[in-house]
């Protein structure tokens, strides 16, 4: 099984709707990183969470970290076509920030 | 100009050929990484380097080798390419110095490799 599970694997939402993507680690989380990837392109860093209960927002995207559950959620409010892409979470399970383990990604489509 | 560049961007080659993918960065970062991305499998770490003299194997290093020619350059080689190495390859860098507790990685645009 994957060390870092993302759900759902894919998502189609209508423009204006809210959505949530989850990322669960089977190992202790020392840091959780969210990235966005446009199809076939490189990854763009969104935000990083390190402390339990931490919540960060950037424009209409909010990420939270539940340290006890070893889980993070990414919430998009009032989705727009520009939000379409693949969202990946990356986990620091080492505690030394030496490397990240990535989830399989969530493919998001936003319809008009 | 892009901070992390990869060459080539696309490559088609045949089974058994030797292939080198190159990565250069202008961010001044010490740490560099090579990943491959396959549909449904996310990113898998191939090799990573914390400085010119420090090279480490990742999850899937078999069939690959790397060279850290300078702080700014990290190349990935496939000594004898096989079809299941067809994938999208990414290079990434991070600042991470001793005692760092964060590892924001900056990614290149990727190289799409097809092995026939």
Q: pLDDT tens for residues B62-97?
A: 999 999 999 999 999 999 999 999 999 999 999 866
Q: Do residues B34 and B91 lie in contact, with contact meaning Cβ atoms separated by under 8 Å?
A: yes
Report the pLDDT averaged over residues B3-27: 96
Burial tier of B80 (Cβ tally within 10 Å: 0-12, 13-18, 19+) = exposed
Q: Which pLDDT band, with edges at 50, 70 and 90, does A82 fall under? A: very high
What local confidence, expressed as pLDDT, does residue A3 receive?
85
A34 touches chain B (CB under 8 A): no
Mean of per-residue pLDDT scores for chain B? 92
What local confidence, expressed as pLDDT, does residue B99 receive?
58
Report the pLDDT averaged over residues B24-29: 94
Report the pLDDT averaged over residues B22-42: 92
C-alpha dist (Å) from residue B109 to A2, A99, B23, B93: 26, 20, 10, 12
Among positive and negative, which fits the CA dihedral B113, A38, B40, A97?
positive
What local confidence, expressed as pLDDT, does residue B97 receive?
61
Q: Do residues A56 and A62 lie in contact, with contact meaning Cβ atoms separated by under 8 Å?
A: yes
Place of tokens 């927002």: A57
Which member of A6, A92, A103 has the closest CB to residue B103?
A: A92
What local confidence, expressed as pLDDT, does residue B95 receive?
85
What local confidence, expressed as pLDDT, does residue A42 receive?
87
The answer, yes or no, to whether residue A45 has pLDDT greater than 80, is yes
Which residues lie below 8 Å from residue A83, measured CB to CB, with a gap of 6+?
Answer: A60, A61, A76, A108, A110
The answer, yes or no, to whether residue B100 has pLDDT greater than 70, is no
Report the pLDDT averaged over residues A96-103: 86
Residues of chain B with Cβ-Cβ distance to A35 below 8 Å are 107
Mean of per-residue pLDDT scores for chain A? 91
Please report which helix (H) or strand (E) contains residue B78, including its range.
Answer: strand B73-78
Q: How far is B41 from chain A (nearest CA, A)?
A: 5
User: CA-CA distance, B3 to B75, in Å (whole number)?
Assistant: 16
The answer, yes or no, to whether residue A2 has pLDDT greater than 80, is no
Nearest Cα residue in chain A from B102: A97
Nearest Cα residue in chain B from A91: B103
What local confidence, expressed as pLDDT, does residue B101 receive?
66
Count helices and strands in chain B by DSSP H and E runs:
0, 11
Strand, helix or coil for residue B10: strand
Report the pLDDT averaged over residues A63-80: 93
Backbone angles phi, psi at B85, to 5 degrees: -95, 5
The answer, yes or no, to whether residue A94 has pLDDT greater than 60, is yes
């Amino acid at each position: 099984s994957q060390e870092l599970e993302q759900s759902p694997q894919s998502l189609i939402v209508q423009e204006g709707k809210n959505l949530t993507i989850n990322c669960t680690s089977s190992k202790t989380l020392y840091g959780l990183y969210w990235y966005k990837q446009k199809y076939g392109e490189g990854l763009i860093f969104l935000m990083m969470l390190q402390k339990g209960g931490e919540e960060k927002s950037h424009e209409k995207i909010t990420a939270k970290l539940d340290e006890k559950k070893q889980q993070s959620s990414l919430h998009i409010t009032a989705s727009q076509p520009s939000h379409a892409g693949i969202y990946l979470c990356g986990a620091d399970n080492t505690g030394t920030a030496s490397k990240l383990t990535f989830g399989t990604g969530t493919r998001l489509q936003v319809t008009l | 100009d892009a901070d992390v560049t990869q060459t080539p961007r696309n490559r088609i080659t045949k089974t058994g050929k030797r292939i080198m993918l190159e990565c250069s960065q202008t961010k001044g970062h010490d740490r560099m990484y090579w990943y491959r991305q396959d549909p449904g499998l996310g990113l898998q770490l191939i090799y990573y380097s914390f400085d010119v003299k420090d090279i480490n194997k990742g999850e899937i290093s078999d069939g690959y080798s790397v060279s850290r020619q300078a702080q700014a350059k990290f190349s990935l080689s496939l000594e004898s390419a096989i079809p299941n190495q067809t994938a999208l390859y990414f290079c990434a860098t991070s600042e991470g110095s001793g005692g760092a507790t964060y590892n924001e990685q900056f990614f290149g645009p990727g190289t799409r490799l097809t092995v026939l």
